[in-house]
Structure 1
Amino acid sequence: MALNIIDLIKGQLGPALISQSATQFGESESGISKAISALLPAVVGGMANNADKPGVLDAIMGSTSNGMLGNLLGGTSNNSLITTVLTAIFGDKVADITNAVSTFSGVNNSTSNSLLNMVTGATLGSVGKYAADNNIGASGITNLLQDQKGIVSSLLPAGLSLASSGVGNMFGAQEAEKVTVSSYDQPKVEVNRGGDTHSHPTPDNNNNEGGSIWKWLLPLLLLGLAGWFLWNNYNKDKTEEVVTTDNTEMVADSTAGMVNDSAMMVTPVKEVTDIDLNGKMIKGYANGMEASMITFLKSDSYKNAADDAALKENWYDFDNVNFKIGSATELEAGSEGQIQNLAEILKAYPDAKIKIGGYTDMTGDAAKNKALSQQRADFIKSELGKLGVAAQVVGAEGYGSEFAKVPATASNEERAADRKMAVRFTK
């Protein structure tokens, strides 16, 4: 099965970046998500259709040294690599595409244009990193991109018409017919398991029964596909109101064994809101890490705690800090904000002290996992030090997979519960 590049890219365009984009551009999160759901397959499809062009290949291979993934929201608007690629794959139709996506998603044209640059940057950076990590050259990149044609052609959302933009055939001559089914007199399209499309003439009056079935069934199938894509790739975190942590065991300290913290762990509602930090407003998830820590401090529970033993069972999960896979020093886009929020909390309560904990899942070598989790805990401690609260971060410990609960054979999504960073107060 061909690698799905969409899976490489979607991790760069997660809920945190969507939320930040909505705030920066003054749009709704649903509008941003809808626009990205349209732009992502369009960009990947455009690159797949122009995979042999030197400008596209040069931009992909140059993206690894460009630092593109580190600043998707602010560093893609005037990037020469992105401009080169967009010109190569869309020519003079860029404005037509952004207008079509703007109409489809409800965001304004300037936002649609900014999101096009951001999605293109995420695509270049993700493919470039994959190629570098796997020692793939220009011909390999070309083959990888060309393999995407059958995948992305089925991911354009129903209701988005690229035919009117003049680039509806970027996935093949019949794509313009597939994207929008607005009239029962248009040719009907079947999507097979490989993602290829086949156009069929409208049945004549001697076969009205068969035609009537497709008249209502095909639009439902296309709508269902678009809904599935949005749900799984962008809005899943927003609809999961509570992340359960029943029977999760946390570390009191490496010498103190384990304690059941099902009543202590943060269970954030995935809704970004303003949080009052003694009159200063910070952004965070309602009932998330920041809100829970501030509530604890305001209650004087920390002030009245006799010693560290009274605090060591209360751990708070970082719910918006994510490291790139295998890295201890590279954060996913949008993660810095929560570290900055934690620093602001400590500045507001200068007597409070904290300890950082790092955890991994059961996959891989246990010793390497522990070393990685320690490095990540140390990294967050170092970042907090740069923000002026070094004296209040008195510990950082990596526990690796020692206390992971989900089997290594479980899915990546299930094992995500064990891959986390956490923080607790200490004396």
Structure 2
Amino acid sequence: MSLNVIDLIKGQLGPALVSQAASQYGESESAISKAIGGLLPAVLGGLANNSGNPGVLDAITNASSSGILGNLMGGSSNNSWIPGLLSSIFGDKISGVVNAIATYAGISNNSSSSLLNLVTGAIVGSIGKYAADNNLDKSGISSLLSEHKGILSSLLPAGLSLASLNIGDWAKGYKFDNDNDTIKSASLEEPKIEVTRSTTPTGTFPDRNNNDGGGSIWKWLLPLLLLIAAAYFLWKQCEKNKTTTVSSTANSTAVIQDTATAVAHSDTTASMSTPTNARVDENISLNGTNLKGYKGGMEDQMINFMKSGAYTNAANDDALKNQWFDFDHVNFKSGSGNQLEAGSEGQLQNLVAILKAYPDAKIKIGGYTDKTGNEATNLKISAERANFIKSSLEKQGVGNQVLGAEGYGSQFAKVDASASDAERATDRKMSVRFTK
């Protein structure tokens, strides 16, 4: 086999995306990792089983230009071709796949359905990019998928049953006993036991090196051992993702300046985000009132900044322009400048509360993108998002404290456009700073 597609896809589904998905779907990171571990071979198996399907090949061929890898979290929920593709490969069994993954990973069906779309986007996008980079036509893509039919059933984690869904030969290699949860080879008959009189002389024993009889046990035991080994490897990978230390967002954050020529960066506390695996939703005290947020998150940083007197003591705007505070939970739907993802309003309300607690404070909103896509579009959409937040704050009665909103596009992005989506996520953000 020339390429293991699962290895190709792993870069798109790293710890940063797992953490983001866990936060957005309200699930634990370990459960999200477990679900992804089951969905990867399931979806790839469905594609491999339909390697000659024109709809599948068209989706993969067009994926490189769809921008799906640029925003997996938003793109997977907004690309209409993903549900159509899933219907093409799973038919009326989609709900069965969703339910099987939800039960296996211990997550809700809604989360399982969202992850199914996300993983499908990552797989199709990764294969599409690989095909485009290596000049593979549809015939080459079909061959690449067909090569994976033989290994996918062995990568299904132990405890995840898909054989009963009847979604392809690749999923029928192993079936799960509903009574005792043991795994049996579906292609073998149950062993028959015959009782015969022994011809071995009393006091002697059969030759252990004779494989004519007992050696046949390996015909069913070897596949079982291989399956267990594959499941253990996949579980260890999920555990590794779960405990991976903080991503580059937590370790090194750029300080973005307003001027078009300024590119200086420094590791200031005001611009740092909290390590992903240390974030715990808790009460952040605002002059006796509690806001729900993260210790070290945007609200906590802004409140501490004001309490320190740094704003009051700043002589002018130049003393403030290098200290930005990144929103932790304000996210826009892919390609939209005025549609927030679910759960984003809460942090905007927290910002309103902070401004009302410090009525003399003034702020500015900034929007940023990564280096992918057309820069004119990046500038336009980042400006739309910044102005949308400004308008939202105005509607909540603090408009006189919002002095400006600006979109910078990818001007201050640090991660190369060829990097993975998880790595580029550090450049896609909305931020706020105090101003005079």
The answer to whether TM tops 0.5 is: yes
| SS of corresponding position for 2:46 | helix
Taking a change above 3 Å as real, the CA distance of residues 264 and 294 of structure 1, as seen in their structure-2 partners, is closer
1:97·1:162 contact (CA, 8 Å) conserved in 2?
yes
Q: 2:366 aligns with which of 353, 356, 361?
A: 356
| SS of corresponding position for 2:170 | coil
Taking a change above 3 Å as real, the CA distance of residues 316 and 114 of structure 1, as seen in their structure-2 partners, is closer
1:317·1:420 contact (CA, 8 Å) conserved in 2?
no
Alignment of 1:281-320 (within 5 A): 284-297=293-306, 301-303=310-312, 305-319=314-328
| SS of corresponding position for 2:347 | helix
Question: How far does residue 266 in structure 1 lie from its aligned partner after superposition?
Answer: 1.4
Taking a change above 3 Å as real, the CA distance of residues 152 and 268 of structure 1, as seen in their structure-2 partners, is farther
Instruction: Please provide the CA RMSD for this pair.
Output: 5.8
Q: Name the CA distance, whole Å, in 2 between partners of 1:249 and 1:45.
A: 41
Write the letter of the residue equivalent to 1:44: L
1:21 is aligned to 2:31: no
| SS of corresponding position for 1:160 | coil
Taking a change above 3 Å as real, the CA distance of residues 288 and 263 of structure 1, as seen in their structure-2 partners, is closer
Partner of 1:258: 264
Write the letter of the residue equivalent to 2:113: L
Question: How far does residue 409 in structure 1 lie from its aligned partner after superposition?
Answer: 11
Query: What do the CA deviations read for 1:52-93 (whole angstroms, capped 9, x no partner)?
Result: 4577679989998xxx975867x89xx9984x7666544565
TM-score normalised by structure 1 residue count? 0.61
Partner of 1:119: 116
Question: How far does residue 345 in structure 1 lie from its aligned partner after superposition?
Answer: 0.1
Q: Name the CA distance, whole Å, in 2 between partners of 1:94 and 1:409.
A: 34
Question: How far does residue 378 in structure 1 lie from its aligned partner after superposition?
Answer: 1.7
Q: 2:404 aligns with which of 385, 390, 394?
A: 394
2:39·2:101 contact (CA, 8 Å) conserved in 1?
yes
Q: Name the CA distance, whole Å, in 1 between partners of 2:250 and 2:74.
A: 31
Taking a change above 3 Å as real, the CA distance of residues 152 and 293 of structure 1, as seen in their structure-2 partners, is farther
Aligned length in residues: 381
2:331·2:344 contact (CA, 8 Å) conserved in 1?
no
Question: How far does residue 353 in structure 1 lie from its aligned partner after superposition?
Answer: 0.9
Partner of 2:106: 106
Partner of 1:384: 389
Taking a change above 3 Å as real, the CA distance of residues 356 and 169 of structure 1, as seen in their structure-2 partners, is same
Write the letter of the residue equivalent to 1:273: D
Partner of 1:191: none
Q: Percent identity?
A: 32
Question: How far does residue 228 in structure 1 lie from its aligned partner after superposition?
Answer: 1.1
Structure 2, unaligned runs of 5 or more = 67-71, 187-210
Taking a change above 3 Å as real, the CA distance of residues 415 and 103 of structure 1, as seen in their structure-2 partners, is closer
Taking a change above 3 Å as real, the CA distance of residues 302 and 260 of structure 1, as seen in their structure-2 partners, is same
Q: Name the CA distance, whole Å, in 1 between partners of 2:122 and 2:143.
A: 17
Q: Name the CA distance, whole Å, in 2 between partners of 1:374 and 1:62.
A: 25
Write the letter of the residue equivalent to 1:398: Y
1:419 is aligned to 2:427: yes
| SS of corresponding position for 1:258 | coil
Q: Name the CA distance, whole Å, in 2 between partners of 1:403 and 1:49.
A: 40
Taking a change above 3 Å as real, the CA distance of residues 419 and 20 of structure 1, as seen in their structure-2 partners, is closer
Question: How far does residue 296 in structure 1 lie from its aligned partner after superposition?
Answer: 2.8
Q: Name the CA distance, whole Å, in 2 between partners of 1:95 and 1:61.
A: 26
Q: Which runs of 4+ in 1 moved over 6 A?
A: 54-64, 128-141, 182-187, 206-209, 211-218, 279-282, 321-324
Q: Name the CA distance, whole Å, in 1 between partners of 2:417 and 2:370.
A: 14
Alignment of 1:186-265 (within 5 A): 219-229=228-238, 231-232=240-241, 235=242, 240=246, 243-245=249-251, 250-254=255-259, 258=264, 260-265=266-271
Query: What do the CA deviations read for 1:195-230 (whole angstroms, capped 9, x no partner)?
Result: xxxxxxx99767999x99999897355312333156
Write the letter of the residue equivalent to 1:268: T
Partner of 1:194: none
Q: Name the CA distance, whole Å, in 2 between partners of 1:140 and 1:203.
A: 44
Question: How far does residue 240 in structure 1 lie from its aligned partner after superposition?
Answer: 2.6
1:284·1:338 contact (CA, 8 Å) conserved in 2?
no
Q: Name the CA distance, whole Å, in 2 between partners of 1:145 and 1:215.
A: 24
Instruction: Tell which deviates more after alignment, 147-156 or 263-272.
Output: 147-156
Write the letter of the residue equivalent to 1:224: F
Taking a change above 3 Å as real, the CA distance of residues 281 and 72 of structure 1, as seen in their structure-2 partners, is farther
2:46·2:89 contact (CA, 8 Å) conserved in 1?
yes
2:270·2:324 contact (CA, 8 Å) conserved in 1?
yes
2:34·2:238 contact (CA, 8 Å) conserved in 1?
no
Taking a change above 3 Å as real, the CA distance of residues 143 and 174 of structure 1, as seen in their structure-2 partners, is same
Partner of 1:43: 43
Query: What do the CA deviations read for 1:217-260 (whole angstroms, capped 9, x no partner)?
Result: 9735531233315644xx467x53895546x6634453677353
Relative contact order, higher structure (CA 8 A, sep 6+): 2
Alignment of 1:8-157 (within 5 A): 10=13, 14-22=18-26, 28-53=28-53, 70=74, 82=83, 89-90=89-90, 97-98=97-98, 100-107=100-107, 111-112=108-109, 115-116=112-113, 119-120=116-117, 123=120, 127=124, 146=146, 149=149, 153=153, 155-157=155-157
Taking a change above 3 Å as real, the CA distance of residues 164 and 129 of structure 1, as seen in their structure-2 partners, is closer
Taking a change above 3 Å as real, the CA distance of residues 7 and 379 of structure 1, as seen in their structure-2 partners, is farther
Write the letter of the residue equivalent to 1:394: G
Write the letter of the residue equivalent to 2:390: G
Q: Name the CA distance, whole Å, in 1 between partners of 2:314 and 2:139.
A: 63
